[in-house]
Chain A
Amino acid sequence: MTQSIRVVLPAHLRNLAGVDGEVTLDVEGEVTLRAILAELETQYPVLQGTIRDHVTQKRRPFVRFFACEQDLSHEPPDTPLPEPVVRGAEPFLVVGAMAGG
């Protein structure tokens, strides 16, 4: 089954990907962090390595994942995302952590 998932990227990554506003991804199967990021990197290869490490696939330290007012950053990558994200009612947010600079 394919779900249309809304993703909000931070400004730097929107610029890199050449997009304005939200991105819509068609995600096959169960909608997890891993599935969303894989589809995002497939559609926008320039984002490979900017959100998670190329090799380890670990989230970069100053990147956060939010959805439905929850911080999902520390969830295992195969955790199913909240139902409102799955049905497209709420976006999945990739956020640059507030860390000065």
Chain B
Amino acid sequence: MSGVRVLVGTRKGAFILTSDGKREKWDVTGPHFAGWEIYHMKGSPADPNRLYASQSTGWFGQLIQRSDDGGKTWTPAGNKFVYDGVPGTHQWYDGTPHPWEFARVWHLEPSLTDPDTVYAGVEDAALFRSSDGGQNWSELPGLRGHGSGPHWQPGAGGLCLHTIILDPKNPQRIFIAISAAGAFRTDNGGQTWQPINNGLRSEGIPNPTAEVGHCVHHVAMHRSKPNVLFMQKHWDIMRSDDGGDSWKEVSGNLPTDFGFPIDIHAHEPETIYVVPIKSDSEHFPPDGKLRVFRSRTGGNEWEALTDGLPQKDCYVNVLRDAMSVDTLDSCGIYFGTTGGQVYASKDAGDHWVPIVRDLPAVLSVEVQTL
């Protein structure tokens, strides 16, 4: 029987949870890289035993770790992230120009076909790529060279490139998202990029419909429908049916449309999941009830999923990279909280159980179906 491996990045180390296909008993290993922030871990679709992890602290900076045995052992790879050419400036919080400075890797996206190729989304926002297993990194400078870079401004968490989506049907097409610049797309393998924010409306910026400046929190795509994108913006759930050329709001009957993660059922491309958060100033679930909301209609009509989730006195957050799905016949949904729990549902969200409790604050959750 196949199994599942859940890669959990936390504020104080990495944890790996494994189970067989029943998903009832979980083995937990870790902390790996104890004491370090693990913003993200992800496995290669081309070789599930090849894992990459982003390890950092404010003291000693950034490391990239690589495993070739599914996380049993790790080897430090390259950590030299140098912006291409003269880095230039972006806007600082007060609107003044601020030099581009590397802070950390937020997201690692392994190639769909080559275990040695992996993309890194970093703060200050830029996209890097390694084609030698993470040893050497080069910026794809066309993104910051788009021309709008000097106008990008950091969100509360920093000017971070946090979402990277590789189009499974068109290897030349990549989507990325930056907080708070917006979403961008390349159709030529990263040489040139265009903002894809038409239809987004953000009241917190001077021009609510500006080409760039939107605080996009996360974007998801189902591999069978690469032109359909779902977005959790700062506020608003958005949907695009044309590869990001235009967006429409599908927040519908959600109790609040603020939140961070968004993900899609493995076998139902119109079934999507979000975790509504009260507001941008109160990062916890409304009414102390932790509820995942599911839409089976690609948005607009949402149902609360609560069975097994705390429905009183719960004030955790779920961060943007902390939700993932498996691809077993009955799709499993997983998410981690800032309270250190990882919840799983093996029936597409109908029932939930904590598969580990009391970890450090969870930053990311990725699932591999083995």
Residues of A with Cβ closer than 8 Å to B?
A: 10-13, 16, 46, 48-51, 54-55, 60, 62-63, 96-97, 99, 101
Q: Is the interface of A mostly helix, strand, loop or mixed?
A: loop
B256 at the interface (CB under 8 A from A): no
A12 touches B59 (CB 8 A): yes
Are B36's CB and A12's CB within 8 A? Answer: yes
B254 to chain A, nearest CB (A): 35
Asked if B79 contacts A12 (CB within 8 A), the reply is: no
**Complex Cα–Cα for A40 and B339 (A):** 39
Q: Quick check: B60 and A12 within 8 Å, CB to CB?
A: yes
Does B63 reach chain A (CB closer than 8 Å)?
yes
A-B contact pairs, 28 of them (CB 8 A): A10-B59, A10-B60, A12-B36, A12-B57, A12-B60, A13-B60, A16-B63, A16-B76, A48-B79, A49-B61, A49-B62, A49-B79, A49-B80, A50-B60, A50-B63, A50-B79, A55-B82, A60-B59, A60-B61, A62-B58, A63-B59, A63-B60, A96-B59, A97-B59, A99-B58, A99-B59, A101-B57, A101-B58
Q: Which residues of A contact B61 (CB under 8 A)?
A: 49-50, 60
Q: Across the interface, which residues of B come within 8 angstroms of A12, CB to CB?
A: 35-36, 57, 59-60
A86 to B346, CA, bound (A): 62
User: A39 vs B80: C-alpha distance in the bound complex, in angstroms?
Assistant: 18
Per the bound structure, the CA–CA distance linking A66 and B195 in Å amounts to 48
B residues near A (Cβ < 8 Å) are 35-36, 57-63, 76, 79-80, 82
Most buried by B among A16, A49, A60: A49
CA distance A16 to B65 in the complex (A): 11
Closest approach, in angstroms, between the C-beta of A34 and any C-beta of chain B? 19
Distance in angstroms between the alpha carbons of A61 and B82 in the assembled complex: 18
Hey, which chain B residues are within 8 Å of A62, CB to CB? 58-59
Which chain B residues lie closer than 8 Å to A63 at the CB level? 59-60
What residues of A have a CB within 8 angstroms of the CB of B76 in the complex?
16, 46
* Residue numbers in B under 8 Å from A13 (CB-CB): 60
Chain A residue at smallest Cβ distance from B75:
A46
Q: How far is the CB of B13 from chain A (nearest CB, A)?
A: 11
Other-chain contact of B80, A10, A48, A51, A99 (Cβ < 8 Å): A48
A35 to chain B: closest CB distance in Å? 21
A54 CA to B82 CA in the complex, in Å?
Answer: 8
- The residues of A that contact B60 with a CB separation of less than 8 Å are 10, 12-13, 16, 50-51, 60, 63, 96
**Chain A residues with CB under 8 A of B62:** 49
A100 to B: closest C-beta gap in Å: 9
- Contacts A51-B60, A54-B80, A101-B58 supplied; 14 other A-B pairs, CB < 8 Å: A10-B59, A11-B35, A12-B59, A16-B63, A46-B63, A48-B80, A49-B63, A49-B79, A50-B60, A50-B63, A54-B82, A55-B82, A63-B59, A63-B60
Leading 9 A-B pairs by shortest Cβ distance:
A50-B60, A62-B59, A96-B59, A46-B76, A54-B80, A49-B79, A50-B61, A49-B61, A62-B58
CA distance A10 to B35 in the complex (A): 12
